[in-house]
Amino acid sequence: DTGVSQNPRHKITKRGQNVTFRCDPISEHNRLYWYRQTLGQGPEFLTYFQNEAQLEKSRLLSDRFSAERPKGSFSTLEIQRTEQGDSAMYLCASSILQGQPQHFGDGTRLSIL
């Protein structure tokens, strides 16, 4: 059990650029979640997948955000035309079943210049 892996750990980019983050869940965990955490706040839910199907999206997930999990294993989160307000920690979590604990990766910290 190698834990949830996220890459990159840090990303600094200019406003208006596109960024993509990757999450590798714990092996055999079929549920994968994305959360966003801004400074001084608790994480907030963005979206979740069961296998390759994206089943739920928060209203926080604007049209500039897109997430995929093409083969039901790793997932990517893309932000297009980044804005200052996108600066945050993006956390990925996975769980084996509904109702089971979610395990979090170390996150990707995004800074918009």
Partner 1 sequence: GIQVEQSPPDLILQEGANSTLRCNFSDSVNNLQWFHQNPWGQLINLFYIPSGTKQNGRLSATTVATERYSLLYISSSQTTDSGVYFCAGYNAGNMLTFGGGTRLMVKP
Nearer Cβ to partner 1 (11/31): 31
Could you give the CA distance from residue 40 to residue 9 in angstroms, rounded to a whole number?
19
Q: Which of 93, 103, 111, 107 is nearest to 19 (CA)?
A: 111
CB of 45 to partner 1, least distance (A): 3
Give helix then strand counts, H and E, for the chain: 0, 11
Q: Spell out, one character per residue from 33 to 72, where the chain touches partner 1: x when CB under 8 A holds, - when not.
A: x-x-----xxxxx--x------xx-x--------------
Contacts of 87 (CB under 8 A, 6+ apart): 38, 110, 111, 112
CB of 108 to partner 1, least distance (A): 10
| Number of chain positions touching partner 1 (CB under 8 A) | 25
2 touching partner 1, by CB under 8 A: no
Nearer Cβ to partner 1 (42/70): 42
Q: φ, ψ for residue 86 (rounded to 5)?
A: -80, -10
Write out the two tokens for 38: 């801004």
Interface residues with partner 1 (CB under 8 A) are 31, 33, 35, 41-45, 48, 55-56, 58, 89, 91, 93, 98-104, 106-107, 109
